[in-house]
Structure 1
Amino acid sequence: MQAKKFLKGRNGMSEKKSSSIESQWQKVLEKTDGIIHEDVVNAWIAPSVPVSLEGNELVLAVDLPGRKQYIESRLGALLGDIVQQALGPDFTFRVIVDPEAAVKKKPAKKEKVPPTEKNTVENPSAGEMTAAETVEYPTQGSLPLAPSDDTHATAPDDITTLNPKYTFDAFVMGRSNQFSYSMAKAVADAPGLPSHNPLFIYGGVGLGKTHLMHAAGHKILANHPEKRVLYIASTDFTNEFIRSIREKSMDAFRKKYYSIDVLLIDDIQFFAGQEQTQTEFFQTFNKLRDNGSQIILTSDRQPQDVKDLEDRLISRFAGGVVVDIQPPEFETRVAILQKKAQSEEVDIPEDVVTYIASRVDSNIRELEGALMRLIKYASMMRMPIDETTCIAALGNYLRGEKGRRITMEMIERIVCTHFKVTSDDIRSTKRSNDIAYPRQIAMFLCHELTEVSWPTIGGFFNRDHSTVIHAHKKIQNLTDSDAATKALIESLTIQIKGI
């Protein structure tokens, strides 16, 4: 790996002193070879700027709090060892956030490709490619601009347009998504920076990953109307790739994707197991990043947790900024419901908003779905929107949501009440049928109604996992063969889900 060169000289620092600090920093960068992956170095460490070397402490400036946090939490110990190897055993380093200092570094110099009709793209912010990486690019007119809100209707079929509803203004920010929101805005304000490329957003279903992706695309287009932005689902990318192979049109496929300025790919986890697709996307990824194009990806899990995904892709994805979105906390759920009601031009009483927000905590999609169900129910039944109507409209729905928060303690309490035994009894070593049977019922329900593992259930009841498996099998057989047991399980399940 070639160490990056930095701008010598900085306000308030002599040229000679700055040069000395830079030379020390270059030693550190060179020492990372073979210790930290090159992609990680280029994405997280190399963009840091050495601003002082007082005593034995090297101070590095970075542009964002997220970068500082990542370096300290993920790379701190390793980088500390490298600093000592490069500068001496008594040296340490410290990271500060100073955007003004961080932007003063020069980008790595690369040999320019001579402009020709085939490789010239009218994109002033695009990076430069080395001669060895020359590819044939289409001219500006070969790929239409990603349409703004007023051009959706005329967009060509092979360009997936941005959803006009998914903007930053429409996104409700809270503690659960603050960092991912901030990073998406940072990328939108300065697309193509190596430190932000790619932006990888992961989280559960319906939490706003796609919304943030589209919002970044809209913001980039607003700031740079000349840029070509393409949003596509990973499955559509795969289908288009397969079609191009079948129709022998791979040149056109590559020219299209290699000339994109901003590529947004949703649900990247569906590339898993698709070997040819992964190979093609790896090449596409490298070309776009080398060309200074911004890449934004979403997934339901972080890169290293996507099974059957090539290590080289995992490395590329993790080499940018990886952010997650968690389920919204109560205050954010309230704000989401209020914003949705406002967009639907419907007045929702505060107690109704609170009622829904306190019971639906899985994701934004379910939350807004509950509100829309209430609005439609009240309209059809000609009823006022109040808590009574809310319960009538969402009773079963809310019970289902509540069931998702079932705990082993809740199950144990219901079972103990039904059989008139205590928690101490059910967790004891007693083997009499009046205790063993309720215990087996409780174990069965814990497995059926929660996502807790066999060993964890066993630990809760002071049993090993094989005992839990045996109990589950026994109660399952009884449920299948005995109507009374089946009715009992159904009755207890209703009680537990109705808590």
Structure 2
Amino acid sequence: MSVAASQDVQPPHAAGSAAKTDFARNVWNACLEIIKGKINNQAFKTWFTPITPIQFSDNELTIEVPSQFFYEWIEENYSSYLKDALKEILGTEGRLMYSIVMDKSQVNPVTIELPHQDIAKESPSGASRSAQRGKEKEERDRFEKNKARFESHLNPKYTFSSLIRGDCNSLAFAASKSVAQSPGQNAFNPLVIYGGVGLGKTHMMQAIGNQVREQHISDSILYVSSEKFAIDFVNAIQNGNIQEFSSFYRTIDVLIIDDIQFFAGKEKTQEEIFHIFNTLHQSNKQIILSSDRPIKEIKGIEERLLSRFNWGLSVDLQPPDYETRKAIIQSKLEQNGVMLDANIIDFIATNVTHNVRELEGCIVKLLAAHSLFNQEIDLAFTKSTLKDIIRIQSKQLTLETIEKAVCSYFSITPNDLKGKSKKKEIATGRQVAMYLSKELTASSLKTIGLHFGGRDHSTVIHGCSTVSKKMEHSMEMRNTIEELKKRIEIMSM
């Protein structure tokens, strides 16, 4: 359907700018109707809705795009759709120009000839057109180094199916699944996942991105560490590409940023994040963040940014309980096509309690040693191979043993430990006992709570969390835990 044949798209008979603008709008709308039927709706809204037709003259349509970055993406990914649409609407002689907004204060037009045009039919100004094309190629080459930004940086192995669900991550798992099913369309925006090292934050966030892509909800997904974001931001400032940097991030449908505590103290980076956050949130784009601690405990982040981080839902990841640790080990073994005796799995699950990464590391080391020495994996071989990781063989360890060690260390009685006293030394001793019981034994949270005065599992979780946080900031608490572990090891022999 060319202009000459179309009844809906007729060229302007007046030379006025208003007529040219109206006709440009008609031509562009006709092109959009063709393109809309060939790409998914999310991609159409992201890359074509922001474009504005501004002029039509001499069979040449001029459209305005937000940035050079935007133009590069359109040309790289959708030029064939534009070519076909222009050919159908304007015929083979139709041409397209881009007017690119480089910043808010000025407009730098860049003329792009569509690939279907016949170069041999260049007019006397062909030399200048060739020079222009050379300039455009240089610009494309200059921006080629940014091409990696368009990659999602998602690891395909990080999926919900490979993520073991347990009490330690059940809320985070449910919230993440909900976000993956309808990104940006629920109250969980932003979704903030926090917890210690090796608990699966990155796995869970990337699982969201992978499911969004799998279900074809959107291809505009980006996972980036806060450190890389900050480095790229500084480079953009130094290279004069800050507008392109900002425009790119504002086109993302699902933005995943890992370890936001790294932004602490970086004022300029926080300023950029603030504006990107506002744009995405107002456009119902999904934001997913992770941190090694609750948002309110991050120091060095502007209050207005912290406030926005708290707009959605924050969920925490706890160290995996015994049952979850066993499930993680079994899953890792299945992935490697290996079967181990139940007593070996129990031994590892009982003794390796800190995080998921450490558990997986044990399996990798055990399988590597088995391959190198061609020796059967039995309990003795397992203990020998993992001796530098597992220092306390706690299979015979009981809650009573931990109770005795803690009471002796803090000079308190078992009745104090199980009572309701909130004196500092007693409350600390009680929390330490719960922490060690959870870390060194296979007892459930319910069993630990019942043993230490009939408390519920939430009290145990709080006590363990309190000790973990104190260990992060207090050398005294770390020394206390290490000393108690040594005493318990001796008592367990």
- Shorter chain as denominator, the TM-score bin is 0.5 to 0.7
Q: Does 1:259 align with 2:251?
A: yes
**1:196 positional shift:** 1.8
Indicate the residue corresponding to 1:168 in structure 2.
Answer: 160
Unaligned runs of 5+ in 1: 1-113, 130-134, 146-153, 417-421, 428-442, 451-471, 477-489
Residues 184-229 of structure 1 deviation map (CA, whole Å, 9 limit, x = unaligned):
1111100111512111111111111110111100110112264311
Where do 1:229-378 residues align within 5 Å?
229-378=221-370
Cα 1:165–1:217 shift into 2, 3 Å: same
Cα 1:124–1:324 shift into 2, 3 Å: farther
Q: 2 CA distance for matches of 1:390 and 1:382?
A: 13
Task: Please give the secondary structure, in 2, of the residue aligned with 1:358.
Answer: helix
Q: 1 CA distance for matches of 2:393 and 2:293?
A: 22
Where do 1:60-459 residues align within 5 Å?
123=43, 136=66, 138=70, 141-142=73-74, 156-158=147-149, 159=151, 161-224=153-216, 226-399=218-391, 410=405, 413=408
Cα 1:355–1:249 shift into 2, 3 Å: same
Indicate the residue corresponding to 2:9 in structure 1.
Answer: none
Question: After the TM superposition, which of the residue ranges 233-242 and 175-184 deviates more from structure 2?
Answer: 175-184
Cα 1:347–1:259 shift into 2, 3 Å: same
Residues 359-416 of structure 1 deviation map (CA, whole Å, 9 limit, x = unaligned):
111110011111222222233232211211111111231117979x997952665x79
* Counterpart code for 2:298: V
Question: After the TM superposition, which of the residue ranges 373-382 and 358-367 deviates more from structure 2?
Answer: 373-382
**1:497 positional shift:** 5.1
Q: Percent of aligned positions with the same letter in both sequences?
A: 35
Cα 1:291–1:126 shift into 2, 3 Å: farther
**1:280 positional shift:** 0.5
**1:246 positional shift:** 0.8
Cα 1:179–1:126 shift into 2, 3 Å: farther
Cα 1:322–1:284 shift into 2, 3 Å: same
Q: 1 CA distance for matches of 2:27 and 2:393?
A: 60
Q: 1 CA distance for matches of 2:393 and 2:263?
A: 31
Q: 1 CA distance for matches of 2:234 and 2:306?
A: 22
Cα 1:245–1:374 shift into 2, 3 Å: same
Cα 1:423–1:168 shift into 2, 3 Å: closer
CA contact (8 A) 1:144 1:228 kept: no
Q: 1 CA distance for matches of 2:305 and 2:289?
A: 12
Q: 2 CA distance for matches of 1:302 and 1:206?
A: 16
* Counterpart code for 1:157: A
- Which TM-score applies when normalising by structure 2? 0.55
Q: 2 CA distance for matches of 1:248 and 1:408?
A: 63
Task: Please give the secondary structure, in 2, of the residue aligned with 1:173.
Answer: coil
Cα 1:261–1:345 shift into 2, 3 Å: same
* Counterpart code for 2:293: R
Cα 1:165–1:122 shift into 2, 3 Å: closer
Cα 1:144–1:180 shift into 2, 3 Å: farther
Q: 2 CA distance for matches of 1:204 and 1:262?
A: 24
* Counterpart code for 1:266: D
Residues 276-335 of structure 1 deviation map (CA, whole Å, 9 limit, x = unaligned):
111110001111111221111111111111111111111111111111111111111111
Cα 1:285–1:140 shift into 2, 3 Å: farther
Residues 443-464 of structure 1 deviation map (CA, whole Å, 9 limit, x = unaligned):
9xx9xx99xxxxxxxxxxxxxx
Cα 1:386–1:115 shift into 2, 3 Å: farther
Indicate the residue corresponding to 1:79 in structure 2.
Answer: none
CA contact (8 A) 2:226 2:260 kept: yes
Task: Please give the secondary structure, in 2, of the residue aligned with 1:216.
Answer: helix
Indicate the residue corresponding to 2:126 in structure 1.
Answer: none
* Counterpart code for 1:339: S
Q: 1 CA distance for matches of 2:313 and 2:27?
A: 34
Residues 78-114 of structure 1 deviation map (CA, whole Å, 9 limit, x = unaligned):
xxxxxxxxxxxxxxxxxxxxxxxxxxxxxxxxxxxx9
CA contact (8 A) 2:42 2:217 kept: no
Q: 1 CA distance for matches of 2:27 and 2:387?
A: 66
* Counterpart code for 2:281: R
Cα 1:215–1:278 shift into 2, 3 Å: same
Cα 1:423–1:278 shift into 2, 3 Å: closer
* Counterpart code for 1:410: A
User: Number of matched residues?
Assistant: 311
Q: 2 CA distance for matches of 1:253 and 1:155?
A: 9
